[in-house]
Amino acid sequence: MAVHPGSFRYTAPAPWDNAFAGEEVHNLVRRPGVPQATRAGRFFWSRWSEARIRTRVAQGPALGLEASLELVDGTELRRVVAVIDGLAVVVDTVGGPGDEVRWNLLGVDSVSTANDVTTVLGGFEARVVHGGAATVHEPSDDDPRSGWHAPTYGRREPLQALTVTAGAAGRVLSAFASTARSDRLDDVVARLRALPPGADAVAVASAIREER
């Protein structure tokens, strides 16, 4: 499913010199123009925002975690993750419309968007509910952000990168299922949509546990 981009090379001809250090190529929620950390050279950072764990929960087979991050402009980004057998959901609460969520995905056969939902099919199935635009990146040798990862140092391979922007609701819902659980994915998404704004890890874990 989603993979970390890795390092590739710390020294390489542009644009590949330490190209995977920036947040714009990682599986995270972000506010464009307000970086979570400021680089100072190749390996150092002069400032970074520290995440805070807000809630941990275990409800039978369902596990949940909620974390928040305050940016330098005062924006709070929140991410709730819950997992159960063959199913993982992520609820991102952002500062407002235009904030982004990115996924770096392996094993993808197709990506399609209808209204505010992007569907990913392949060795797994996913739904991403965003409200704003969805960009399906095409890997390009001239752009490290276009969908690449480094499985080992010095080697890079293409992947399917997806970036979505939040709409007026300021929330992005992502649900991933194994092929064995994909028939329940739409029910899970409906439960997540029904959650109130600011739902915590307890509420999200309860939603996917009820789905069983």
Q: What's the DSSP call for residue 201?
A: H
Question: pLDDT, tens digit, for every residue of 56-72?
Answer: 999 888 999 999 999 99
User: Using one digit for the tens of pLDDT, what is the confidence trace for 6-37?
Assistant: 999 988 899 999 999 999 999 999 999 999 98
Count how many residues are written for the chain.
Answer: 212
% of the chain with per-residue pLDDT over 90: 79
Mean pLDDT of 171-175: 97
Q: Which of 43, 50, 47, 146 shows the shortest CA–CA distance to 102?
A: 146
Centre a 10 Å sphere on the Cβ of residue 73 and count the other Cβ atoms it contains: 9
Q: Kindly indicate the confidence band of residue 210, based on its pLDDT and cuts at 50, 70 and 90.
A: low
Q: Tokens representing 78?
A: 């929140």
For tokens 């001809």, the residue is 13
Q: Which helix (H) or strand (E) holds 136?
A: strand 131-136
Other C-beta atoms lying within 10 Å of the C-beta of residue 142? 8
CA-based torsion, 96, 99, 105, 109: positive or negative? positive
Q: Which residue has the higher pLDDT, 137 or 46?
A: 137
Question: Residue 176 CA to chain centroid, in angstroms?
Answer: 11
Residue 211: predicted pLDDT: 52
**pTM of the shown model:** 0.93
